[in-house]
Amino acid sequence: MIRYYALSVLVFSVPTDVLAQEATFPFFPGEVIKPFNIQKYNKITSQVFDSSCGAASVANIISEYYRIPTNELVILANMNIHGDRSEYSFEDLRYGVEFHNLTPVYVATNYEALLELKIPVIAHLRLLDGNHFSVIRAVTENYIFLADPAWGNVKLTRTQFEEKWLSDTNEGHIMAIISENNINTSDEYFGLKNIDKSIYMIFHDFR
């Protein structure tokens, strides 16, 4: 049963094959440099289809935070979808969550409550081309850090995020994925102290 609760990037001129892998440079002796295109999608399940951001977000949390092997296609296959659909809801996503013996919890809440989060959650956003789902990895008073299946690791200002998240009632919707068993979660996946903040830049084109 589903429960509802109210509540100075450096640019290097390097061969293209280097851009797809880690590399070492003589002016950073002993350090391994990860190209930005790799860092941007670090720990992210990228969406394969135009409308599969929700399934990719679910797969992201389950595989990266709960360390349960899965992927977007597995989630889609278990979402009990009938007919040609261009958008999905939290209710659709729950089937992919429950397939992995986890519990989806839908929450209507505000930004202040997000500051108290202890686990990553999926936020429902409204972009210019329709509904969108993205994973919240960290929150501060002024910024929110997302693992987005389309855009990669992005940082939005609070204003940017609220414009796309809050409804007319000044509440936004999120879905938490809860484990009722003792699963060894990844401490590196959630929280401002744990994520690699160096890969995040203010993202102005999140529309």
Token pair recorded at residue 52: 């599969």
Token pair recorded at residue 186: 């990844």
What three-state secondary structure class fits 81? coil
* Selected residue with higher pLDDT from 128 and 169: 169
Residue 75 has pLDDT above 50, yes or no: yes
Q: What residues does 157 pair with on adjacent strands? A: 143
Please tell me the distance from the alpha carbon of residue 174 to that of residue 193, in angstroms, as a whole number.
22
Which pLDDT score, from 0 to 100, does residue 38 have?
62
Residue 148 has pLDDT above 80, yes or no: yes
Which pLDDT score, from 0 to 100, does residue 205 have?
63
User: Residues 135, 61: contact at Cβ < 8 Å?
Assistant: yes
Which pLDDT score, from 0 to 100, does residue 197 have?
67
Which pLDDT score, from 0 to 100, does residue 11 have?
29
Please tell me the distance from the alpha carbon of residue 31 to that of residue 28, in angstroms, as a whole number.
6
When pLDDT is cut at 50, 70 and 90, the band that residue 128 belongs to is confident
When pLDDT is cut at 50, 70 and 90, the band that residue 40 belongs to is confident
- What residue ranges in the chain does DSSP mark as E strands? 3-6, 23-24, 32-33, 103-109, 121-127, 130-139, 143-148, 152-157, 172-178
* Selected residue with higher pLDDT from 134 and 19: 134
Token pair recorded at residue 100: 């992995």
Residue 196 has pLDDT above 80, yes or no: no
Q: Is the pTM of this model over 0.85?
A: no
Q: Residue range 34-57: average pLDDT?
A: 80
